[in-house]
Amino acid sequence: MEEEGQRERGAAALAVLAVLFAINTTHWIVKRKKEHRVMAMAEALLAEIHGLRRDADRLSGPDTFVQSAKMQRSANAKEKELAGLWEDHKGSENAGVLWWMSILRAVASITFVLWLWSVRLVCLDESLVWPVGSFLKFPQYSNPQGSITIIPWIIACDRASRALLQVVLPMKVVGSKAALWK
């Protein structure tokens, strides 16, 4: 009977991990697709700015000052366009999808908390959880030492799946802007 209960708890723990990993993967792929589009435009603008500045430096003599100034102003305008691209990127067309994914993550987490409130999902050796053992059994402090309950498990699964996705599918860095997970 106890072995069957352990299997059910293990299956519930894996279900929480799988659902949160699936939601975070979908969120990450949508965000990465959006980032990729913006990064491609930013790379093109940076290359154009670099070329304009190089040409302006080459034409910096007194007789070609007018052409050099025009190229310098054009490069400055492209830099402003690049800065505007980063600002426009924050409120793009995928914002609604990302918002719904965040809502889905919250609803799934609340559902799991309500379903598994009084269940200890994982039991570890006391020495493995020694400094934070009381936090890992948060809602039910009467559980034995080394137990992990649903709220810390959801937090750990969410953070672990995000970290794994950042390692496996990293965002590309262009210029001084980095694509960050939010």
Task: Note the pLDDT tens digit of each residue in 56-79.
Answer: 888 777 777 888 888 888 888 888
Cα Rg of the chain, angstroms: 26
Instruction: Return d(Cα 182, Cα 171) in angstroms, integer.
Output: 12
The predicted structure's pLDDT at residue 164: 92
Task: Note the pLDDT tens digit of each residue in 74-88.
Answer: 888 888 888 787 666
Give the phi and the psi of residue 148 in degrees, each rounded to 5: -120, 125
Task: Note the pLDDT tens digit of each residue in 31-54.
Answer: 777 777 777 788 888 888 888 888
The predicted structure's pLDDT at residue 170: 79
Task: Note the pLDDT tens digit of each residue in 102-130.
Answer: 899 999 988 888 887 777 777 767 776 67
